[in-house]
Amino acid sequence: MSAFRTATGGRIDRSRVIEFEFDGVRYTGLAGDTLASALLANGVHLMGRSFKYHRPRGVLGAGAEEPNALVGVWRDEARYTPNLRATTVELYAGLKAESQNRSPSLTVDKGSVNSLLSPFIPAGFYYKTFMWPKGAWKSLYEPAIREAAGLGRAPRLADPDRYGNRHAHCDVLVIGAGPAGIAAARAAAAAGASVILCDEQAEFGGSLLADPTAEIDGQPAAQWLAASLAELSAASRVTLLGRTTAFGYFPHNHVGLNQKLTDHLDKPAEGAIRERLWQVRASQVLIAQGAIERPLVFPGNDLPGILLASAARTYLNRYGVRVGEQIAVVTAHDAAYQTAFELKAAGAGIAVIADVRADVDAALLEQAAGLGITVRRAATVLGTTGKLRVTGLVLGSVSGEAVQAGDTIACDAVIMSGGFTPSVHLHSQSRGKLEWQPALGAFVPGEAAEATLSAGACRGVFGLAAVLNDGAAQGAAAATAAGHGAGVRTYQASEAARHGGGFLGALPQPGGKPGKKAFLDWQNDVTTRDIALAIREGFVSVEHVKRYTTNGMATDQGKTSNMNALALVAATLGKPIPECGLTTFRMPYTPVTFGSFAGYSRGDLFEPVRRTAIHDWAREHGAVFEDVGAWKRARYFPRGGEDMHEAVNRECIALRHGCGIFDASTLGKIEVVGPDAATFLERLYVNSWANLKVGRSRYGILCREDGFVYDDGVIARLAEDRFHVTTTTGGAARVYAFMEDYLQTEWQDLRVWLTSITEQYSVIAVQGPNARRVLEPLIEGVDLSATALPHMGVATGRILGVPMRLFRVSFTGELGFEVNVPADYGRAVWEAIFASGESHGIVPYGTEAMHVLRAEKGYIIVGQETDGTLTPDDAGLGWAIGRQKADFVGKRSLARASMQTADRKQLVGLRTVDPAVVLEEGAQIVDSPGQTPPMRLIGHVTSSYHSAVLGHSIALAVVRGGRARLGHTLYVPMPEGDIPVTVTSTVFYDADGARLHG
Amino acid sequence: MQRYSALSIFHRGLSGHESWRPQWRRAAPKAAYDAVIVGGGGHGLGTAYYLASVHGLTNIAVLEKGWVGGGNTGRNTTIIRSNYLFDESAALYNHALKLWEDLSQVLNYNVMYSARGVMMLAHNVHDVQVAKRHIHANRCNGVDNEWLTPEQAKEFCPPLNISDNIRYPVLGAALQRRGGTARHDAVAWGYARAADALGVDIIENCEVTGFRKDAHGAIEAVETSRGLITTRKVGVVAAGNTSAVMRLADVRLPLESFPLQALVSEPVKPAFPCVVMSNTIHAYISQSDKGELVIGAGTDAYTSYTQRGGLHINTHTLDAICELFPMFRRMQMLRNWGGIVDVTPDRSPIIAKTPVKGLYVNCGWGTGGFKATPGSAHVFAHTIANDEPHPINAPFNIERFRDGFLIDEAAAAAVAH
Amino acid sequence: MLQIQCPYCGVRPESEFAYGGEAHIARPTDPSTLNDDQWAEFLYMRTNTKGVHAERWRHARGCNRFFNALRDTTSDRFLAFYRTGEPRPVLAGGKP
């Protein structure tokens, strides 16, 4: 057993020795250790290097507040985690940790040259330099700074671990399982409230875990703790969440908890969930976060071996580790005395207790004297000695304003206490107000913004009995507020430590000047001189001080530094602390893994894919898919090594000469039903609907109120009071919401009901001169002849006995039908049609061929030809507008003068002078060749393809005043030169529509 | 103004940095100014700087209700780019980008503009079409923006996952090499210092409580929490609070204010070389000089002035980032924060005169105002000084909404058909 | 994630709802009688209230009904929920 491990005591399991590695050196610890306690037990204080000056640093705290001892933990290469606090890393067998921000090693670090340069790199120095020569910032200075900055290294491989997510509701969420939290949870549970009690640590108990002599209700605190936890875990309406940090307080009592499940295990089970995000909605949130001890600010206060007194007590009593052999104590608070006494009792030497205060409780002095411990009152610290470990404490004495230099006390550790800062983080995150308590020298929770209560040290209540009783009272209050009336019980308790005193700011130095290297923010290397400089340079708001010096912006987010810095700012400005304000508390309370936010949402579960009923058939037939919204759509069906263009050319030709089959199921479909259905569409779409006969359909255009094209689709009238509306694939959900909006909020007079039927129907487009022949044998009850079912005709009937809505529509310009059948029959009907078509040369075609075919006909695609800035007329669809209608959505906007001008961008066709050249979609258009940037752009190419059927390229474009430029030559300026193009009609194929009506 | 340089730091360092003076004076409001800027963010301070340096108006004040740079200037993800689609936007943002390029030297303040490249990913055919349209339009407008294949994209940004068996495979990317980042605080402070040196009063903790107009309805004074200030010209640059300020002058604007959240990870050694944005997956990421991964996404759904939003916005942002960069799953969020972004119907800004004579407004930057800071400030100063817009900001007027001349970048990026 | 009380279904998390913008902006019954300024007012002008805001929500992943709410945009606290077509409630203290 190491020299620093006590013989007895603590909550570690002395029977289980655990091997681990730190920086390649093998050590042993005990089950129950943290990495920090195990290293301290081995006499290792040096655990890290600071951010800016690369100063050697030891562990400062024993918990989440730790700014110094940051390590990378390596389970395997894909499970490397940087920047973990050694104080919260639980030891497991085989743990490998490495120190960070040093090269080549912790003891010899090239970066420590920064510390020598520190007189010339004060706060904000980088704003004043690195400006010459221009461009050197990016090429020279910045790379060097980036290399020096950062802490650990980022993981390099994809993280294989899983993360979970759970939503929970409760009457009372208790945050923190120290004495206040446990008493609160007991009280709330006793009242019948459902309770979630969470604590960031592996073990519940908070301060009780480091207080072996405390008694509660006449029994040792440990016994009370065990009994209380047994009671709570037996309670059916209580959920206990260990290793669970409440990191964020969101509106309406929504609290985010991060639960760590596997990081402490020797060998986590395969596929085990590493962390779980709990999203808790609580009627009442009871915060019992405790308080964090403040360090004292004096020159050289950052040497390894200097740490918080409460941390030393935790290491001693919880982990059985003495932090040194000869320990100096610097304190402004009574509690550190008890730590000194306990360390002394555990065999450590106490070199001195230097108390900042002149007046110290006589009982404490008497007790110290009884143990042979020297106490210096009205003391200050002028410096420390040592390089990689503290070797001495240079004391001074304070008399009025004067500071006298004193002697140097030899020691191998210094423990310090500036008093305790209540953890108001979550209360503040919830937007509750904070109140300054002058007697306490601390901000405590004031008026709440949510249903929030605080209990115990986090609201400035100290002393075990007071904390327990506060917890019990607040727990009962929370339960009552949540509707479970509760009585209040009281506890009797005693503890050895006293609670009084405290100090804010920097310890006095000779001449009233800030001392050298007196650190406020350990990790970011912010000193008292930096604060002074910031104020000298006019950064007087605390937010400015923070940003200019980076105080409080390290990974501990100022848990140990913010109050001292604030006090220093206030003192420098001669203003009371509350007038200086506090920087905002933001989530997370402690850093939270990205993966736990993402949770299950990864891979297949990251935005689930939508597939049609025919998807698998397409996959089996070699389709290449594309993402369209959340859908997978077959893009083309290559055969025998074809590339996309070859496949598309073949599909197009086959369709124009025979027949093609296409899965159009992703199109949005909305059934509009009711006596006023026609009126509804009349008001909504630009077209006229009242005159649409039953059994007919019409191409509809929907605008937003601003007059720009929003969506389009064919709308069929199935009955007087029943319309089948189709939308674009991407527009389905928003058009449906759009319709509901008008129906529910503007036109409540209309008797219309909307149903989204997108997923209820498979839509099979059968297109081409043979389409009728392919379908006819399969269909019952519908005459497919051109006279009975002309272009845009609609009928209902059966196909293979399956109910069907049959549309004679075409997005290809050929004779075409769209077969709508219930989605469950989609694949079967598709296969039957395909089989029927095989003798007629049927081919499956994908979205790419569909795009070419429709472009040959000049049919637009909303979102490709239009982009939210085109009116129907711009898109060449002015003919569709019901001119005689008094109103429709967008009509008033279209009446604005700017919507009528001749130079609006209008849809036209383009032919390249060289028929082999296919323009690039998105290419820009100018009206004269040889322009140089900035050019006078008059439009752009919206669609462009090689047309196999026509034997030349075709393109659609929007061009300013385009329709007046028919026949003109325009130019598409490309990096290789201008491509001349001729403006044409948008219809390239079968201009008179003979094939369509065949 | 004390010159800043390595030499001056060394020199003053020898005497313990005792001789540095405030970067700007803590000015008290005077009774009258030639012009008053309401809002001490980057755009407002920059406007004051250009009013003084370009237009010679030095008897002016910037009124800030809190501390300078405390609004969206200090809360954004510092992305700079100019590869906008429409000619009007490209002109405005490229004007800004040109000013960024030597802003540190002009202000003698290192704003750390770093042209590390902004890469916008395309994940589907529609994205590719939109990206290419941008690239062609940008090229013809003299704005750099180039197409990268997935392999080229990965070469530029090695952490990128370009395998084709992920939910949204990377089909390519549009890269603007001159795009990048800058240090947000430095922009506010650099402009404040430079404006102050020209005589501009920067007045913090001074909230505007009202406007006074003369018999003709023109601005004649501003009422503030620190007294009445007489002036004939007021430029309001109040971001999320613009509606509230302008209401004091009875001017209504087509604005809504939404919470926008962003977050940083703990700092790590260099792991991410550029800025990557994905509109389809909806997130963006870069790494700061300090080493933090800086990540943002879209706004919360509802209007709010609380400077905070919901947890679900963060979960969606980070699931997207983890999907694109699965090695970052074990990185830890250090800090999340919220700003208030004012959004116009076409998501383009308003930089314009208002119906009230002497009252000018610069607002509506939505989620993208930081990148425009120098350009916006420069043309707004021109507008105030001349009572006429600069040609670059002329299209960004208020009347465009009435007349239908929207500059709708978002609609042009459209949604899949 | 806000907690929203659908007047038809009860209290549900925000993820079930779609925000619908400012409430009580009725579409003019005869837009053709408005001049461009008046029309633009309807199309685009919003109060963007810093304080109590009347707004629309749709229970998109529930009953799909639109309804209105009063919410304080400085705290995000809801003060009232009411059905479409009902007048804006007068809050205690007489403040609209």
> Chain A closest CA to C25's CA: distance in Å?
10
B23: containing domain: 6-76+184-254+346-403
Are the C-beta atoms of residues A255 and A282 closer than 8 Å to each other? Answer: yes
For B291, the closest chain A residue by CA position comes to A150
Kindly report the CATH number that applies to the domain delimited by C3-24+51-83.
3.30.2270.10
CA–CA distance, A583 with A876 (Å, rounded to integer): 58
Tell me what percent of the residues of chain A surpass a pLDDT of 90: 96
Chains in contact with B, where contact means 3 or more Cβ–Cβ distances below 8 Å, are A, C
B326: domain CATH number?
A: 3.30.9.10
Q: Does C39 touch chain A (CB under 8 A)?
A: yes
**Count of residues in chain C:** 96
Chains in contact with A, where contact means 3 or more Cβ–Cβ distances below 8 Å, are B, C
DSSP state of B8: H
A588: preceding bond cis by omega (within 30 degrees): yes
Quote the radius of gyration of chain C (alpha carbons, Å): 15
Contact flag A864-B129 (C-beta cutoff 8 Å): yes
pLDDT, tens digit, 9 for 90 and up, residues A684-724: 999 999 999 999 999 999 999 999 999 999 999 999 999 99
How buried is A62 (Cβ within 10 angstroms: 0-12 exposed, 13-18 middle, 19+ buried)?
A: buried
In B, residues 21-60, which contact A (CB 8 Å cutoff)?
A: 21-26
Contact flag B303-C73 (C-beta cutoff 8 Å): yes
Q: What is the pLDDT of residue A488?
A: 87
How buried is A63 (Cβ within 10 angstroms: 0-12 exposed, 13-18 middle, 19+ buried)?
A: buried
CA–CA distance, A320 with A1 (Å, rounded to integer): 11
Q: What is the pLDDT of residue B281?
A: 85
Q: Write the ipTM.
A: 0.97
Residue A624 CB: number of other CB atoms within 10 A? 15
Residues B236 and B362 in one domain: yes
Selecting from C1, C27, C58 the residue whose C-beta is nearest the C-beta of A737 gives C58
Residues B235 and B383 in one domain: yes
Tell me what percent of the residues of chain C surpass a pLDDT of 70: 96
Residues B262 and B385 in one domain: no
Tell me the sheet residues that pair with A216.
Answer: A219, A493
C1 vs A contacts (CB less than 8 Å) = 250-252, 254, 279
Helices (DSSP H) in A882-992: which residue ranges? 891-894
Which of B303, A741, A608, A681 lies closest to C59 in space, CA to CA?
A741
Q: Please compute the mean of the pLDDT values over residues A1-17 and round it to a whole number.
A: 91
In a domain, B416, yes or no: no
Contact flag B303-C53 (C-beta cutoff 8 Å): yes
Q: What is the pLDDT of residue A3?
A: 82
B225: domain CATH number?
A: 3.50.50.60
In A, residues 245-274, which contact B (CB 8 Å cutoff)?
A: 248, 250-251, 254, 256
Are the C-beta atoms of residues A728 and A899 closer than 8 Å to each other? Answer: no
Q: Does A630 touch chain B (CB under 8 A)?
A: no
pLDDT, tens digit, 9 for 90 and up, residues B387-400: 999 999 999 999 99
pLDDT, tens digit, 9 for 90 and up, residues B333-385: 999 999 999 999 999 999 999 999 999 999 999 998 999 999 999 999 999 99
Tell me the sheet residues that pair with B352.
Answer: B361
A896 vs C contacts (CB less than 8 Å) = 36, 39
Which of A349, A347, A396 lies closest to A374 in space, CA to CA?
A349
In B, residues 82-101, which contact A (CB 8 Å cutoff)?
A: 87, 91, 101
Output the six-digit token pair for B161: 């996952």
Selecting from C30, C34, C66 the residue whose C-beta is nearest the C-beta of A741 gives C66
Residues B268 and B233 in one domain: no
In a domain, B100, yes or no: no
Using CA atoms, how far residue B413 sits from A63, B86, B122, B128, B321, in Å, is 49, 11, 12, 11, 21
For C85, the closest chain A residue by CA position comes to A745
pLDDT, tens digit, 9 for 90 and up, residues A370-379: 999 999 999 9
Tell me the sheet residues that pair with A245.
Answer: A258
For residue A595, give the amino acid letter.
G
Contact flag C14-B256 (C-beta cutoff 8 Å): no
Quote the radius of gyration of chain B (alpha carbons, Å): 21
Q: What is the pLDDT of residue B417?
A: 47
Q: Does C25 touch chain A (CB under 8 A)?
A: no
Are the C-beta atoms of residues A602 and A273 closer than 8 Å to each other? Answer: no
Q: What is the pLDDT of residue A591?
A: 98
CA–CA distance, B304 with B258 (Å, rounded to integer): 5
For residue A900, give the amino acid letter.
Q
In a domain, B323, yes or no: yes
Which of A767, A782, A749, A778 lies closest to A816 in space, CA to CA?
A767
C24, C27, C86: best to mutate for the A interface, most A CBs within 10 A: C27
Report how many domains make up chain B. Answer: 2
Residues B162 and B296 in one domain: yes
Question: Does pLDDT of A2 surpass 80?
Answer: no
Residues B323 and B274 in one domain: yes
Contact flag B312-C15 (C-beta cutoff 8 Å): yes
CA–CA distance, B294 with B372 (Å, rounded to integer): 19
Place of tokens 């260099």: B270
CA–CA distance, A154 with C44 (Å, rounded to integer): 46
Q: What is the pLDDT of residue B415?
A: 52
Using CA atoms, how far residue B333 sits from A239, A587, B263, B277, in Å, is 26, 9, 7, 19
Q: Please compute the mean of the pLDDT values over residues C67-88 and round it to a whole number.
A: 97
Q: Please compute the mean of the pLDDT values over residues B298-324 and round it to a whole number.
A: 94
In a domain, B246, yes or no: yes
pLDDT, tens digit, 9 for 90 and up, residues B239-295: 999 999 999 999 999 999 999 999 999 999 999 999 999 988 889 999 999 999 999
CA–CA distance, A320 with B191 (Å, rounded to integer): 56
CA–CA distance, A668 with A673 (Å, rounded to integer): 16
CA atoms within 13 A on the CB side of A667: 27
C43, C48, C58, C68: best to mutate for the B interface, most B CBs within 10 A: C48
A998 — pLDDT class (breaks 50, 70, 90) = confident
Buried b (16+ CB within 10 A) or exposed e, A884-905: ebeebbbbbbbebebbeeeebb
> Chain C closest CA to B196's CA: distance in Å?
32
Question: Does pLDDT of A534 surpass 60?
Answer: yes
> Chain B closest CA to C11's CA: distance in Å?
17
In a domain, B81, yes or no: no
pLDDT, tens digit, 9 for 90 and up, residues A25-40: 999 999 999 999 999 9
For residue A383, give the amino acid letter.
G
Tell me the sheet residues that pair with A981.
Answer: A912, A970
Selecting from A281, A740, A896 the residue whose C-beta is nearest the C-beta of C64 gives A740
In a domain, B106, yes or no: no
In a domain, B104, yes or no: no
Are the C-beta atoms of residues C55 and C69 closer than 8 Å to each other? Answer: yes
pLDDT, tens digit, 9 for 90 and up, residues A559-593: 999 999 999 999 999 999 999 988 889 999 999 99
Question: Does pLDDT of C96 surpass 50?
Answer: no
DSSP codes joined into one string, A548-608: HH-TT-STTTTTTTHHHHHHHHHHHHT--HHHH--PPP-S-SS-EEHHHHHTT-SGGGSSP
Longest dimension (CA), chain A: 115
Contact flag A431-B306 (C-beta cutoff 8 Å): yes
Could you give the 3-state DSSP secondary structure of residue A789? coil
pLDDT, tens digit, 9 for 90 and up, residues A733-755: 999 999 999 999 999 999 999 99
Q: Does C34 touch chain B (CB under 8 A)?
A: no
pLDDT, tens digit, 9 for 90 and up, residues B162-191: 998 888 899 999 999 999 999 999 999 999
Q: What is the pLDDT of residue C93?
A: 67
CA–CA distance, A981 with B413 (Å, rounded to integer): 25
What dihedral angle (degrees, nearest 10) is formed by the CA atoms of A89, A95, A99, A104? Answer: 180
Q: What is the pLDDT of residue B414?
A: 56
The answer for residues whose C-beta is within 8 angstroms of residue C58's C-beta and 6 or more apart is A737, A740, A741, C17, C18, C20, C64, C65, C66, C67
Q: Does A879 touch chain B (CB under 8 A)?
A: no
For B257, the closest chain C residue by CA position comes to C48
Edge-first strand listing for the sheet containing A219-220: A219-220, A215-216, A493-494
Question: Does pLDDT of A397 surpass 70?
Answer: yes
For A432, the closest chain C residue by CA position comes to C75
Quote the mean pLDDT of chain B. 95
CA–CA distance, A558 with A564 (Å, rounded to integer): 10
Buried b (16+ CB within 10 A) or exposed e, B104-124: bebbbbbbbbbbbbbbbbbbb
Tell me what percent of the residues of chain B surpass a pLDDT of 90: 93
Q: Does C24 touch chain A (CB under 8 A)?
A: no
Q: What is the pLDDT of residue B416?
A: 46
C61 vs A contacts (CB less than 8 Å) = none
To 10 degrees, what angle do helices B125-140 and B87-101 make? 70
Are the C-beta atoms of residues A472 and A184 closer than 8 Å to each other? Answer: yes
* This model's pTM is above 0.90: yes
C-alpha torsion sign, points C48, C50, C52, C58: positive
Which of A151, A181, A724 lies closest to B269 in space, CA to CA?
A151
CA–CA distance, C26 with A572 (Å, rounded to integer): 57
Q: Please compute the mean of the pLDDT values over residues B71-100 and round it to a whole number.
A: 96
Could you give the 3-state DSSP secondary structure of residue C31? helix
Q: What is the pLDDT of residue A132?
A: 87
Contact flag C50-B305 (C-beta cutoff 8 Å): yes
Tell me what percent of the residues of chain A surpass a pLDDT of 70: 100
CA–CA distance, B173 with B164 (Å, rounded to integer): 15
pLDDT, tens digit, 9 for 90 and up, residues A403-453: 999 999 999 999 999 999 999 999 999 999 999 999 999 999 999 999 999
C94 — pLDDT class (breaks 50, 70, 90) = low
Which of A329, A977, A943 lies closest to B129 in space, CA to CA?
A943
Which of A141, A536, A132 lies closest to B5 in space, CA to CA?
A132
Residues B44 and B162 in one domain: no
- The last residue of one of the domains, among B309, B325, B343, is B343
